[in-house]
């Protein structure tokens, strides 16, 4: 059985079939995912609603000077036990991990505990998998030090894998918010000019913008809850900017703070900021478009030009070969 497994792992036809099956599964997943977006939206909006209720309960208890309540769901017992037994909060924790988890949309103690757990598990898993492949399956004709260096490198990659996952989740979330944010500012401007307060405007915009960006709708709903129940409204705007982490959102949050502090017209501020965010989005699109020709040069040379030469010179070469014979 073991020899059969090793033979299959070195069989090019089997690997090609395996990669084709993975590609087909990924294509089917890509086609099916948009059909499930509505269900995902309802789940996340329910989670946001429960978060708002927890914030309300926390503020009520704080004003009544009672004992603080637990705001978020507790982590699973197995993961929590492993984190506590190995004291992972001291050895593998990172100061920026909590902020990055919030920016990625994971709130509370449970995601942080899970993050610490995987910071311990993934290096061990990568080390064992690489050692099994290097020393048993591949039978590399390399010195022992080279094999050991490969295993150590894979272990370090496993240590960084949770952070790479977080960065990827943050970039996807920020991209979704960045695309919808100018439209959200325009909608907020319309609501404010119609006489709504900023809380009511955020609540209405979160409902309308959810079809375009679920993360932005979630953040606006949480901002509405914090504006309603926190004593210092400045903290709500600062939390919104920290959770998203985009420069455009930070400028809008700062402008809203100044508008409330000094009594300046909020509608004019939002109109200017909406235009600035739209210009920033257009500038980024122009930069990406300008960078396309250099990026396409190498693929065209490697893939397009040889085929073009074959199509043009092929008939001529066939005729010349026929005349020579």
Residue 5 in domain: no
Residue 211 in domain: yes
Q: Is the pLDDT of residue 324 over 80?
A: no
Residue 179 confidence (pLDDT): 86
Residue 134 in domain: no
Residue 69 confidence (pLDDT): 37
Residue 277 in domain: yes
Residue 47 in domain: no
Q: How far is CA 261 from CA 151, 188, 265, 283, in A?
A: 57, 19, 11, 32
> Which tens digit of pLDDT belongs to each residue from 208-256?
888 888 899 989 998 988 888 888 888 889 999 998 988 888 888 888 8
> Which tens digit of pLDDT belongs to each residue from 140-160?
778 888 888 989 999 999 888
Q: Whole-angstrom Cα distance, residue 250 to residue 102?
A: 16
Q: Are 88 and 82 in contact (CB under 8 A)?
A: yes
The length of the chain is 325
Q: Whole-angstrom Cα distance, residue 320 to residue 316?
A: 6
The count of structural domains within the chain is 1
Q: Whole-angstrom Cα distance, residue 85 to residue 80?
A: 9
Residue 113 in domain: no
Q: Whole-angstrom Cα distance, residue 103 to residue 107?
A: 9
Going by C-alpha positions, the residue among 227, 172, 221 that lies closest to residue 198 is 227
Q: Is the pLDDT of residue 325 over 80?
A: no
User: In percent, how much of the chain has pLDDT > 90?
Assistant: 6
Of residues 322 and 203, more confidently modeled: 203
pTM of the predicted model over 0.75: no
Residue 70 confidence (pLDDT): 39
| Mean pLDDT, residues 18-37 | 78
Residue 246 in domain: yes
Band (287; pLDDT cuts 50, 70, 90): confident
- Write the DSSP symbol of residue 33: G
Which string of DSSP letters, residue by residue, matches 252-263?
Answer: HHHHHHHHHHHT
- Domain interval for residue 192: 175-287
Residue 80 in domain: no
Q: Are 199 and 220 in contact (CB under 8 A)?
A: no
């Amino acid at each position: 059985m073991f020899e059969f497994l090793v033979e299959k792992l070195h069989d090019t036809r089997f690997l090609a079939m395996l990669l084709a099956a993975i590609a087909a599964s990924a294509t089917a997943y890509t086609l099916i995912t948009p059909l499930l977006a509505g269900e995902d939206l309802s789940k996340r909006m329910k989670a946001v609603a429960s978060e708002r209720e927890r914030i309300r309960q926390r503020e009520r208890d704080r004003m009544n000077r009672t004992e603080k309540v637990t705001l978020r769901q507790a982590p699973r017992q197995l993961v929590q036990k492993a984190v506590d037994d190995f004291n992972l909060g001291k050895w593998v924790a990172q100061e920026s991990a909590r902020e990055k988890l919030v920016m990625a949309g994971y709130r509370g103690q449970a995601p942080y505990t899970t993050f610490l757990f995987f910071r311990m598990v993934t290096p061990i898993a990568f080390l064992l998998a690489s050692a099994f492949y290097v020393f048993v399956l591949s039978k590399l004709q390399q010195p022992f030090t080279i094999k050991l260096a490969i295993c150590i490198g894979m272990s370090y990659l496993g240590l960084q894998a949770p952070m790479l996952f977080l960065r990827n989740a943050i970039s996807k979330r920020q991209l979704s918010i960045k695309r919808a944010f100018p439209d959200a500012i325009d909608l907020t401007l319309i609501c404010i000019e119609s006489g709504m307060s900023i809380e009511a405007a955020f609540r209405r915009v979160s409902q309308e913008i959810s079809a375009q960006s679920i993360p932005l709708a979630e953040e606006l709903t949480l901002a509405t809850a914090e504006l309603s129940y926190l004593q210092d409204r400045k903290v709500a705007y600062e939390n919104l900017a920290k959770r998203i982490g985009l420069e455009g959102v930070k400028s809008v949050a700062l402008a809203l703070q100044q508008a409330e502090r000094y009594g300046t017209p909020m509608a004019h501020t939002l109109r200017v900021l909406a235009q600035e965010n739209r210009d920033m989005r257009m500038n980024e699109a122009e930069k990406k478009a300008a960078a396309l020709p250099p990026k396409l040069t190498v693929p065209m040379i490697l893939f397009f030009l040889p085929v073009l030469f074959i199509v043009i010179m092929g008939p001529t070469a066939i005729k010349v070969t026929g005349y020579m014979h």
